[in-house]
Amino acid sequence: MKRVVKLMSFILIISAVFMACSKDDDDIPGNTSKLSSIKYGTSKLEAKPKVAIISKSATISPKGAAVSFKISKVTKDKKDFTNPKIGGFKIDSKGVVTATKDHKLEAGTYELTITAVAKKNKKNTKTAMLTIVVSKSETSKSRLNSLTYSPNKLDGKQKVEFTSKDAVLSPKSASVTFKFIGIYKEKKKFKNPKNGGFKIDSKGRIFASKNHNLSAGTYRIKVSATDKNDKKNKKEAKYTVVIK
């Protein structure tokens, strides 16, 4: 009977040791590889449109922890954002967040929730925030918004040269080309003569030479400015010339 009791005790001890050994290493007290934190040395990154984005590697604690990374959530300007599969944010095995040169991320403030998942215990996860600010492109900053003249009327004389003030663009840095899209004299369509008629220069100034062929009357001119960076972006203004 005593031998049976000893044998049973021995079996129980062996079983306990086997279970302890087979238990996930992350659950063993004192295991130094259990994931305890994730962070980025620089939690904010400045970026530009059409320029590759790359962050620093994530720092995990302890260094020996085996983890995988994922971008679990993205917001843009405090609103939920669907990260595009092509041209969006990516993350690699070191927690480096990237976007290719031709990314499709528009200007705004993006807040990314980065999750590190322990490979030996999927329930052991830690998160960190990474902010990426994509600035406006120089092209968008100089996008043509409006075209005006001040004043928008000029008094001229026959056979006497005249020149208007420069066109007023908003923003001032907008790069445009000007052209006439319609001229009316006394409310009737007027054919502007190639020689001795109205001209317009690169600053939007409307003028006529000394010996112009424009007879007395009121001319209403429609001017169009076309954005050089976006040919579809056009603005119009009206200008009046009264020749006596």
Domains of the chain: 32-136 (2.60.40.10), 142-243 (2.60.40.10)
Does position 224 have pLDDT exceeding 50, yes or no?
yes
Q: What mean pLDDT do residues 160-166 have?
A: 97
Cα Rg, the chain, nearest whole Å: 36
Q: How far apart, in whole angstroms, are the C-alpha atoms of residue 142 and residue 228?
A: 10
Query: Which pLDDT band, with edges at 50, 70 and 90, does 1 fall under?
Result: low
**Which of 18-27, 34-43, 96-105, 185-194 has the least mean pLDDT?**
18-27
Q: Tell me, what's the pLDDT at 223? A: 98
Q: Is the pLDDT of residue 177 over 70?
A: yes
Encoded amino acid at 194, one letter = K
Instruction: Please list the residues that pair with 47 across neighbouring strands.
Output: 134
Which pLDDT belongs to residue 171? 92
pLDDT for position 30: 44
Pick the more confident residue, 9 or 79.
Answer: 79
CB 107 within 8 Å of CB 140: yes
Cα(210)–Cα(159) distance, rounded to whole angstroms? 5
Structure tokens at 166: 């420069």
The sign of the torsion formed by the CA atoms of 173, 176, 179, 181 equals: negative
